[in-house]
Amino acid sequence: MKLLKRILKPIPFKIKRFPYSETGEGKFLSGRYSRVREFFLVVKIAVEFIKGFRAFHFLGPGVTFFGSARFEAGHPYYELARKTAEAFSKVGFVIITGGGPGIMEAANRGAFENGFPTVGANIKLPMEQKPNPFLDKFVTFRYFFVRKVILVKYSMAFIVLPGGYGTMDEFFEALTLIQTGKLYKFPVILMGKDYWASCIEWLENTMLANGAISKEDLSFFFVTDDPEQAVKKVTEATSTLGVTPKALADFRLSER
């Protein structure tokens, strides 16, 4: 009886709910709820993890592309992502993206239009993000942090093209996981030299100069605008792990 009373004990205060909190993650992060409700929120999160694991578990070696959703077909960065994804597909990597428009669409398209497997981890947003049409299979998530785990867990390299806050978050999270030993030193490839030049300069002249990072930390990423060079860098790294992707031209994911 005492345990039940403790579980049902009311929270000390409540926060007014706003529209942004109506998405799954907003509800979870926008304040405290009763212990019963928070327990069921955790269950929902666990179910979402399981859904992602089931969908991605049997993929071959994957490469995840990060980048802005705002670049349309014909933009130089869109075309760079498309060509790079095609090059990775031809050596046997499954192309993984966030499943949306822009750079994500370009990467999926580069593989899809050439008959190679491509998947997406889409996200439900207030400004609803729809899966792009170049996906063999996709899963739509409610929680950003679940989606990011899936994008990292099933990838052996990260191709980071120009983007905004979300792309920066994904880029630095990959570097943080590598820096702290939570993730193997999988290649992190920055593409779009001109776009990233000021960021790299800041890392070197501000963060490194002030001792916030070490010189070794700057070696966790590689910068190139050449798709073939990016592929070479990744295949060299994966071969040391005994992973040699094979051509997957006849492979198609059956479910959508």
Radius of gyration for the alpha carbons in the chain, expressed in angstroms and rounded = 20
Residue 180 inside a domain? The answer is yes
Residue 250 inside a domain? The answer is no
Listed in sequence order, the residues at least 6 apart from 43 whose beta carbon sits closer than 8 Å to its beta carbon are none
Question: What domain range includes position 92?
Answer: 50-239
What confidence score (pLDDT) does residue 14 get?
Answer: 55
Residue 71 inside a domain? The answer is yes
Residue 244 inside a domain? The answer is no
State how far the Cα of 53 lies from the Cα of 38, in Å rounded to an integer. Answer: 23
State how far the Cα of 212 lies from the Cα of 49, in Å rounded to an integer. Answer: 33
Residue 26 inside a domain? The answer is no
Residue 38 inside a domain? The answer is no
Tens digit of each residue's pLDDT, the chain (256 residues): 666 556 555 555 555 555 555 555 666 777 777 788 888 889 999 999 999 999 998 888 899 999 999 999 999 999 999 999 999 999 999 999 999 999 999 999 999 999 999 999 999 876 657 899 999 999 999 899 999 999 999 999 999 999 999 999 999 999 999 999 999 999 999 999 999 999 999 999 999 999 999 999 999 999 999 999 999 999 999 888 777 665 443 444 444 3
Return the residue matching tokens 């008959």. 115
Residue 75 inside a domain? The answer is yes
| Residue 144 three-state SS | helix
Domain count, the chain: 1
Residue 124 inside a domain? The answer is yes
Give the CATH number, domain containing residue 138.
3.40.50.450
